[in-house]
Amino acid sequence: MKALLVKYKSVITFILTFLFVYVVLSWSYKMYLQFSDGSKFYPDYVTHLVSLQTEALLNAFGFDAQVIPHPNEPSMKLILNNNYVARIIEGCNAISVIILFVSFIAAFASKLKTTLLFMLAGSILIYSVNVLRIVVLTIGVYCYPEYSDVLHSVVFPAIIYGMMFLLWVIWINRFSRQKKRNE
């Protein structure tokens, strides 16, 4: 048994580190959502911010966009050219994707400064791509409502998870300690 633990030490370390960071960040985010005061920033601060940034970008692209709190559920209604097109829910804010990204990077950590900078830069990139993804999805659903299911459930998740996967590949190939160990 000891020989197996020694042989697979790096795999076991990766799995345990990933799970630990993922559980801690997910629990922290759950607590944040549970204790968020939706009176000022509805439904929570990050989702509210994503909604406002989506609205601003759509308006910058020449659309008449407006986000308003949904009266029946914790989400923001996205109105485009006086048509209710979509709702932005907590799951649209990319925090769960960022938690997954950060957990993976932590599990393949390198030097502390490099790891933290990559986590920060990657999180900002994922967040930004997510806002752009919502903007493009909104325009797509507005212009091509018959494709809304495919756009929402296939194309646009592929963009955000594809971005995360690309960042993981860059991290492993350029910065991770594991790469340096194998050279």
Whether residue 102 is found in the same domain as residue 170: yes
- pLDDT at position 176, please? 76
Whether residue 113 is found in the same domain as residue 169: yes
- φ/ψ (deg, to 5) at 34: -65, -35
Does this model's pTM top 0.85? My answer is yes
Whether residue 85 is found in the same domain as residue 98: no
Whether residue 103 is found in the same domain as residue 171: yes
CA gap 176, 86 in Å, rounded: 39
Whether residue 119 is found in the same domain as residue 180: yes
Whether residue 17 is found in the same domain as residue 106: yes
Whether residue 14 is found in the same domain as residue 26: yes
Q: Residues near 178 by Cβ (< 8 Å), separated by ≥ 6?
A: 10, 108, 172
What is the domain extent for residue 49?
Answer: 38-92
Whether residue 22 is found in the same domain as residue 50: no
**Pick from 107, 83, 87: nearest CA to 22:** 107
As for how many domains the chain has, the answer is 2
Q: Residues near 37 by Cβ (< 8 Å), separated by ≥ 6?
A: none
Whether residue 144 is found in the same domain as residue 109: yes
Whether residue 16 is found in the same domain as residue 46: no
CA gap 73, 95 in Å, rounded: 19
Whether residue 42 is found in the same domain as residue 84: yes
Q: Residues near 24 by Cβ (< 8 Å), separated by ≥ 6?
A: none
pLDDT in tens, the chain (183 residues): 788 778 888 889 999 999 999 999 999 999 999 888 767 888 999 999 999 999 999 999 999 999 999 989 999 999 999 999 999 999 999 999 999 999 999 999 989 999 999 999 999 999 999 999 999 999 999 999 999 999 889 988 899 999 999 999 999 998 876 555 545
Whether residue 27 is found in the same domain as residue 110: yes
